[in-house]
Amino acid sequence: MINKCCEQPKKLYEQDGSDWELCGNCLECYINEEEEDKYAKCCDNCKKGMFEGYIIGGNYYCNDECRRVVMSDKEWEAHYEDGGDDYWSEWHELDEGGYYTEDGKWVED
């Protein structure tokens, strides 16, 4: 069985015995079907689970809207261009010991 992550898959990926067609635009396709409700991080603004986002001052922000709570677009551009310590990242693995739910609750394994 091939699982599709979205409407425009581009390549085939195998994870834990499951085949996935990846779109190349989202991380949902990297998550095993059994773990689709498990998230690697939790947004410090909206408190939702996330697989990609900003790390600013050690806090996590899932998208531009949440990031703007602490840093405007102009501030982000200037900070990023100056080689600041904050960055955008993607997490393909869950943290050891547990995971976050879609609504940001920590669940221990």
Query: Model confidence over 28-39: pLDDT tens digits?
Result: 545 544 456 889
User: Bridge-partner residues for 14, per DSSP?
Assistant: 19
If residue 74 lies in a helix (H) or strand (E), which one and from where to where?
helix 73-81
Q: Per the structure block, which two tokens stand in for 17? A: 């015995």
At residue 1, does pLDDT exceed 50? no
The predicted structure's pLDDT at residue 27: 54
Q: Per the structure block, which two tokens stand in for 83? A: 């080689």
The predicted structure's pLDDT at residue 52: 94
Radius of gyration of the chain (CA): 15
Question: What residue type is 22 in one-letter code?
Answer: L
Please give the share of the chain, as a percent, with pLDDT higher than 90.
Answer: 50
Query: Lowest-confidence range among 25-34, 42-51, 68-77?
Result: 25-34
In angstroms, the Cα distances linking 59 to 9, 66, 78, 85 are 32, 11, 19, 12
Mean pLDDT calculated for residue range 85-96: 88
Q: Per the structure block, which two tokens stand in for 9? A: 């898959």
The predicted structure's pLDDT at residue 19: 56
